[in-house]
Structure 1
């Protein structure tokens, strides 16, 4: 079988490289940075923060795939619900319980659209694709409840106006977030530990990893002459690399705020903003090793509009800190802010679904993977499912070019 090249060493690229190697292909993984991981990297040093709040979702396809290969490693769940200090910002004040309308929608979601181990099932009563979430949810639970539900769902959307997105798109994510018991799980030590296990597994399968090796358009042409290529980069990078102006899709624009505080008894676990999209979580509640002894690590995300300044998101973060972490200014030992613009995954407007995003198949033996392409799933699950599909198609193409048989069932 011919060589398969994977460009990009994030979750999509590692999934593609492992899948292709398990099918018997010779695989080279090209990563422009010195380290693998993409947006699944974790900061070095005593404060181990991911690039924005990250979680694995237990019932998703990525979870199953990792578990079968013994790649999950140690994971932790949210603290016990009976001791969970959840706070909701409503009308500018901290509340211990969400609006009744939000609970009604969560219960209705659980009844009408169960989740299986693969893709989310769709029933006749799920939200429509063609309507916006705000209008649909208002008809279900009223205007105030719809606004709260949209802002709560923004945790998995990273978008400044979640109510304007497709009702189906938002509702599927709301259901996953509101499921009980919670689906969210956290790799101990941060997502970099998961990346390390995936990279070691890839190398064990014979994948050649070339880190610090950027691939430009000319180099891509050279690689494509030796076998199929999987481009597993951001959509912006893929657009430049493939010189294809059609590779666009809407994403979010989000201020990321990470900080460490000296520990104080009684601090919240999560503060969810129901007045505007925003979320702040104390990750050391489930994984104390992410910060030095006596400190706790917080990570938050605050979506802002296309013309807003980063300071607007930072100010909203401080509002939530005031509500959930009294005296946080005097207790802060470390703080980092960043703006994630167009790199928080795809969002779908009314009338669109994941099938309308840029196709995995680009022609001439080139395939696309990442979190903004035509593949199902929640957040990083899109990178996984697209990486899996791109790899299987590349293996099939390599088999045709070499005239060899390909056993796709090995994956």
Structure 2
């Protein structure tokens, strides 16, 4: 494997580029946008909102991989005071702790939860119907799906154990995900990888070395002309706000009556907003037939409870809908092994958070990218070597 092409410059694409370059391949990465990162992007200032989930879980393999390469960078800790300002919404009131049933379920090993049964049915048999529904809604912070209870019990239970773990696994890179992405890109370039942004690939190279397609599953479906590249995911209504600072604003609100999460990002990283302002993001999962307005209305009701006078204090506002917020979700009877395979044949490999790789949140992207490069190396029958032939000519269109 003298040469490897990566299509897509998000987290998975950069992991693949670094891994292949470290193995000695000549790597070229193409990203259709002008900036790298995919859902790991952080918007340019003055309000540096993250496009996707912004926490790194330190219990996964990607953490040690990033740390070994000094790519994590400084972290933004949540203060003890702010940690006490995490509230749960239930029945129109705010409470400090979720029901004990959440922790009771979280103690159950993943092996207890069946793959072929939905989470609500399994959990209700242990803690009752109401607490099972509450626990499913609590997991909006890690799943962003409108009906967590309908997903595979084993799939949900793995995430419940990670979210409820003490001490918490979540860590927040200072400056948002983009700071990590920028360090990864610099590392790839140091290793000799060529990174071209604003380059939209419309067809695969006719010949040459392996290709890792590290795009969304929808983009890969079009590029590879493969209608089988589909998997269940979720939709989330987003409301991003810049607010004039007021003492007493909550750190976060978890909605237990319905899936939803609101977080004040500047609680741990004040530099994400202008001085004297807060950056808040509300993330409300919505069903396939629900409109953005439904999610935004729910977000505003929660804001009324935890961010007094937020309407008058608003200095900036942005609304949107995000699809595939945290990648794949597994329905009863399926596991990550049933998702689209990484090896597509003919030297083409998939990487991303909706393909056949284990893990939670960004760990799926990491594991699939490392596996894609490993398969590409093994397929050559030898280790990759430095250098390589001339760069291929691909069909590029300006983004």
Tell me the TM-score normalised to structure 1 length: 0.91
Q: Which runs of 5+ in 2 are unaligned?
A: 386-399
Q: What is the Cα deviation at residue 379 of structure 1?
A: 1.2
Q: Which runs of 5+ in 1 are unaligned?
A: 113-121
Distance 1:368 1:83 in 2: 39
Q: After superposition, what is the alpha-carbon deviation per residue over 1:175-199, rounded to whole angstroms, capped at 9, x for unaligned?
A: 1111111111011011111000000
Q: Structure 1's 72 and 82: CA in aligned 2 closer, same or farther, altered over 3 A?
A: closer
Q: What is the Cα deviation at residue 405 of structure 1?
A: 3.8
Distance 2:52 2:19 in 1: 27
Q: CA RMSD in A?
A: 1.5
Does the 8 Å contact 1:369/1:386 carry over to 2?
A: yes
Does the 8 Å contact 1:77/1:184 carry over to 2?
A: no
- The match for 2:54 is 54
- The match for 2:397 is none
Does the 8 Å contact 2:53/2:326 carry over to 1?
A: no
- The match for 2:199 is 213
Aligned 1:203-282 pairs, distance under 5 A: 203-217=189-203, 220-222=204-206, 225-282=207-264
Q: What is the Cα deviation at residue 63 of structure 1?
A: 0.7
Q: What is the Cα deviation at residue 393 of structure 1?
A: 1.3
Which residue, out of 367, 373, 386, partners 1:385? Answer: 367
Q: Structure 1's 369 and 389: CA in aligned 2 closer, same or farther, altered over 3 A?
A: same
Distance 1:52 1:329 in 2: 24
- The match for 1:115 is none
Query: Helix, strand or coil for the counterpart of 2:317?
Result: strand
- The match for 2:65 is 65
Q: What is the Cα deviation at residue 373 of structure 1?
A: 0.1
Q: What is the Cα deviation at residue 83 of structure 1?
A: 5.0
Count how many residue pairs are aligned between Structure 1 and Structure 2: 385
- The match for 2:117 is 131
Q: What is the Cα deviation at residue 86 of structure 1?
A: 1.4
Which residue, out of 351, 356, 380, partners 2:333? Answer: 351
Which residue, out of 95, 110, 127, partners 1:141? Answer: 127
Moved more, 339-348 or 357-366: 339-348
Aligned 1:8-407 pairs, distance under 5 A: 8-80=8-80, 84-106=84-106, 108-109=107-108, 112=109, 122=110, 124=111, 126-217=112-203, 220-222=204-206, 225-397=207-379, 399-400=380-381, 404-406=382-384
Q: What is the Cα deviation at residue 41 of structure 1?
A: 0.6
Moved more, 82-91 or 59-68: 82-91
- The match for 1:118 is none
Does the 8 Å contact 1:52/1:299 carry over to 2?
A: no
Distance 2:361 2:175 in 1: 20
Q: Structure 1's 244 and 141: CA in aligned 2 closer, same or farther, altered over 3 A?
A: same
Does the 8 Å contact 2:359/2:367 carry over to 1?
A: yes
Q: What is the Cα deviation at residue 20 of structure 1?
A: 0.4
Tell me the TM-score normalised to structure 2 length: 0.93
Query: Helix, strand or coil for the counterpart of 2:327?
Result: strand
Q: What is the Cα deviation at residue 140 of structure 1?
A: 1.4
Q: Runs of 4+ in structure 1 displaced over 4 angstroms?
A: none
Q: What is the Cα deviation at residue 139 of structure 1?
A: 1.1
